[in-house]
A and B are shown apart, each in its own frame.
Chain A
Amino acid sequence: MDNNDFLTGWGLSLMVFLPLAGALVMMLIPKAEEQLIKVVALGTTLASAAVGVAVMADFDYDNAGELQFVVDHKWIEVIHSTYLVGIDGLSLPLVALTLLVTPLVIIYSWNHFPEPKNPKAFLILMLVLHTGMLGSFVAQDLILFFVFFELVLLPMYFMIGVWGGEDRQYASIKFFLYTLFGSALMIVSFVAVFFVAGGESFSMAALADGVAERNVAGDLALSTQVLIFGGMFMGFGIKVPMFPFHTWLPDAHTQAPTQGSVILAAVLLKLGTYGFIRVALFILPEAAVEWAPIIGGLAVVGIIYGALGCLAQTDMKRLIAFSSVAHMGFVMLGIATLTDFGLNAAVFGMVAHGLITGMLFFVAGSVKERFHTLEIKRLGGLLLQAPRMGWILGFCVMASLGLPGLAGFWGEFPAILSAYNPAPGLSEELFRTYMVIAAIGTVLAAGYLLWLYQRSSFGTPTEEFADEHIHDVHLSEYLAWVPMLVLILVLGIFPNLIFQVTDPFMTAMGDTFQALGQ
């Protein structure tokens, strides 16, 4: 299939920068014209999504392992950075997820703006965030990637810091400092890898080639690569977040407004795992082999720790946040196996977690709006008071605990399975131990999720809310939720929709690691 000329040259850039253009237009609209502002915001995200869909329709799925729609343009020549964007089987599912989630969040916001309202500023931040997220997934140049990666930070910081809950100052600064700390070490690694690979280009492919060439020549110490990988590990590991660096996440999620939580869970965390595959593993495969046991170990610690953390929570949103730590642990375990099977599972896990946890945060937000609390012991009987919302919560809980037939299953199960047979060069005993621990984690996951569901939805409403009229699902909530619910089901039944897109890229990557081990 030959790609359409216009889309090839402009498609991705248009998709990425339309939201930013929309944000600029919105700045010119007076604050009082709320309706117009909302329409412009939704319109630009939908337009961006339309361009994205056109790109995906034109995407050559037979060569999904190759970069397509590549645009390579001069950018900052002094530092050898180019404007290099492209999309392949690894980026495509995540781009699609981003394109879907942001418009849905805006629809959900329609009449649900958190205090202190100000939809104009809120939506402008949302659009800037959208550009940052999309840009991160299509950038193929390290500096460009870094700029987009960091661009995400500011809007999220303000969303938490301005529209957040009571402890928003603390949570937003914690979020900001943690992430910035990671990226500071990451940029050192980026510059170091640039010089190690010859100092001619920041393009990821060129860097990978440069490092590989020096490895073949044998004049690049493994310890140097391991150190550079360490810097990237800090940057991406904090974003994921991996076990000892996760403490910002529960605070950020709990304090963030619903919209912020959804985007944080659905897309932002994926920047970390995506970065691991796209940057760290891709450019420094030899160091990845050295790091894999540590990453795998931290991943399973995260699975168990997250699950135990969930069991100790009294707040619904905090519980979901800790469950994110556990779920991202599965994704990281898949990555740590360094096999095509595990990596495919990881990408599926990212999309599935994005949809499911995003939905859980949506529901939690709606519950909070109605009951003005998320304390689990004060809730109860949601199925009686708002049956539709109760069933939707139930559906998401089932998906989250990995029920076969729903999307969550295909993220967790293959990840566990792949640990049985990690890439050559990694200890089988170690990874099989990880596998067993991760499997125990799924049981704990079922435990805390069912416990949450039981306490919040079964039984009768607590006395406090017994006489209150609780409105069931609104129209804007339906509009925002139905696409995600449908996708959770569809991806659960036809997981190949994603696997066949990601597989070519992952097979190539898996082959690299196979070759390294021999």
Chain B
Amino acid sequence: MLASLLQQGTPFLRPEVDFHALAPEIVLTGAVVAVLLADLFSSESTRGIVPSIAGIGLLAALVPVLTLALDGADRIMFEGAYTVDNFSLVLKALFLLSGYVVVLLSTNYIAEGDYAEGEYYFLLLASILGMVVMASSRDLVSIFVALELLSIPAYMLAGWRKRDLHGNEAAVKYYLMGVFASAVMLYGMSLLYGFSGSTLLADIGARLGEGDGLGGTTPFITLGIVFVVVGFAFKVSAVPFHTWAPDTYEGAPTPITAFLAVLSKSAGFVALLQLILIAFPERHDVVEPLMWVLAAATMTVGNLIALRQTNIIRMLAYSGIAQAGFMLAPLAVVGSNPVGAGRAVVTYLLIYAAMNLGAFAVVLAVARKTRSAEISSWGGLFEYAPGLTVLMTVFLFSLAGIPPLGGWLAKFVVFRALLQPDLTPGGVALAVVVGVNSVIFKPLPSVAY
């Protein structure tokens, strides 16, 4: 019986594997194993090498990324399911570098608290590996695998302060919401697969482009697209799927908050971009209004609630939600301007990572002194930590988008994508919403002086 089944299938051919293209992932996997082993075989006194190994591993994985970038050729593997091109390389570099910064932020925090150290770095690296894979995935299955690889360790990391009630709340909320989102997304993916007969994004895109050939199935495809997008909207904490974010950010260890706010969110955007640009280019009639509403709601709600926060981490969490809204905005005109929208999102992601990680780094440093993340406890910061105050000012003003700081350029490319190439009413309206929203920002630093 089994033999007859096997005979019917096509004979198994080993796919061509381009090891150079996979080198970043392989190096990172090596680092993950090395961290685990180092933790296993190191004594209490030599445990300090674990974060070093994690950091070096991340930087080592950056080397093949650079050689691939210098090489410049697009490498397509597994019939298009895994692609290494400039887009994915830029984002891999972003994930690895930001991951390295998170490791640096964690070193003192984790060593000083009563935490399990080795596992922490193991999970962190595993999650980053998931992101690096995500940047190259062009297939529903590999996207899903990457998503779970990056999410499951993150659920555990969010609850790393296991004796703290807030920590438990953070992990449970994040986990339940995350799993729920995955389920919704998976259902959407199954619909898409069912109607297109392929899990490859490019194939799905081509099938959706055939339009009427699918008969009366269009509403189901629409439903599939909406479900997939909604699943990622959870990941990037877009309103109204953002409710987990503030509690999780507050309860998680601060370096993990930075990790979730920057890396995990970026990974969500990467997947969203790939889906929208490759799989749904013919269905921007569904994607555009959805993105318009998500973007407008996300930035407005995020900003308004950020105004009322008294805890700096919660404030950054809500401001991060608002920033996600800015990043979603260009996707609302993706039909008329796909390249511009994609560029705007990637540019925003890069700048966002720098300024948000910076802000979290300062928060960590200050919290070490004040033992509190309440904004009121920051009074007079300029007196005893002028350097940190100036840095925080720079990061916050950059988040607010004041030139000549980087955040301004990020906002500018969003405006440009929205208004290019023709002024569409929807684009202009959203540009005005973005404009108004860039103003709603709490100028926190004045407290510090």
Contacts and interface: CB of A to CB of B under 8 A. Distances in A.
Interface of A: 79, 143, 146-147, 150-151, 153-154, 157-158, 161-162, 169, 172-173, 176-177, 180-181, 184-185, 187-188, 191-192, 195-196, 199, 224
A79 B443 contact: no
Given A79-B412, A173-B446, A195 B403 contact: no
Interface in B397-449: 397, 400, 402-404, 408, 411-413, 415-416, 419-423, 428, 431-432, 434-436, 438-439, 441, 443, 446, 449
Given A151-B404, A196-B423, A199-B421, A184 B436 contact: yes
A191 B419 contact: yes
Kindly state the interface size class of chain B when it binds its partner.
20 to 34
Given A157-B443, A184-B438, A185-B435, A147 B403 contact: yes
A475 to B, nearest CB: 31
Main secondary structure of the interface of A (DSSP, over half): helix
24 contacts: A150-B402, A150-B404, A154-B397, A154-B402, A161-B449, A162-B446, A162-B449, A169-B446, A172-B443, A180-B438, A180-B441, A181-B436, A184-B439, A185-B432, A185-B435, A187-B412, A187-B415, A188-B434, A188-B435, A191-B416, A191-B419, A192-B423, A195-B423, A199-B420
Contacts of A143: 412
Contacts, number: 75
Contacts of A181: 436, 439
Contacts of A158: 449
A198 to B, nearest CB: 11
A187 B403 CA distance: 11
A192 B397 contact: no
A146 B412 CA distance: 11
Given A181-B439, A188-B431, A191-B431, 17 more contacts: A79-B412, A79-B416, A146-B403, A158-B449, A161-B446, A162-B446, A180-B438, A184-B436, A187-B412, A188-B415, A188-B432, A191-B415, A191-B416, A195-B420, A195-B421, A196-B423, A199-B420
B419 A192 contact: yes
Contacts of A173: 443, 446
A231 to B, nearest CB: 8
A313 B51 CA distance: 64
Contacts of B431: 188, 191-192
B402 A184 contact: no
A151 B449 contact: no
Interface in B64-106: none
A187 B126 CA distance: 42
A187 B435 contact: yes
B378 to A, nearest CB: 13
A195 B419 contact: yes
Nearest to B421: A195
Nearest to B382: A162
B439 A180 contact: yes
A190 to B, nearest CB: 9
Contacts of B449: 158, 161-162
Contacts of B428: 188, 192
A169 B434 CA distance: 26
Contact of A224 (B412, B423, B436, B446): B423
B22 to A, nearest CB: 31
A79 B428 CA distance: 19
Contacts of B416: 79, 191
B167 to A, nearest CB: 34
Nearest to A168: B446
| A-B pairs with lowest CB-CB distance, top 8 | A184-B435, A147-B403, A161-B446, A150-B403, A181-B439, A162-B449, A180-B439, A191-B415
Nearest to A172: B446
Nearest to B427: A192
A143 B411 CA distance: 13
Contacts of B411: 187
A158 B445 CA distance: 9
B385 to A, nearest CB: 14
Nearest to A192: B419
B307 to A, nearest CB: 11
Contacts of B443: 157, 161, 172-173, 176
A185 B415 CA distance: 11
A199 B420 CA distance: 9
Nearest to A153: B402
Nearest to B431: A188
A224 B423 CA distance: 9
A188 B434 CA distance: 9
Interface string B123-151: 00000000000000000000000000000
B448 to A, nearest CB: 10
Contacts of B412: 79, 143, 187, 191
Nearest to B437: A184
A182 to B, nearest CB: 9
B119 to A, nearest CB: 43
B323 to A, nearest CB: 15
B69 to A, nearest CB: 18
A154 B398 CA distance: 11
A191 B432 CA distance: 12
Contacts of B408: 147, 150
Contacts of A191: 412, 415-416, 419, 431
A394 to B, nearest CB: 38
Nearest to B436: A184
Contacts of A185: 432, 435-436
B257 to A, nearest CB: 26
A13 to B, nearest CB: 15
Nearest to A185: B435
Interface string B341-354: 00000000000000
B439 A188 contact: no
Interface string B186-223: 00000000000000000000000000000000000000
A10 to B, nearest CB: 21
Nearest to A228: B423
Contacts of B402: 150, 153-154, 180
A269 to B, nearest CB: 20
Contacts of B397: 154
A361 B331 CA distance: 50
A7 B420 CA distance: 39
B404 A147 contact: yes
Contacts of A192: 419, 423, 428, 431
A153 B431 CA distance: 22
Contacts of A180: 400, 402, 438-439, 441
A158 B416 CA distance: 30
B175 to A, nearest CB: 38
A143 B416 CA distance: 12
B403 A151 contact: yes
Nearest to A31: B386
B372 to A, nearest CB: 21
A162 B449 CA distance: 6
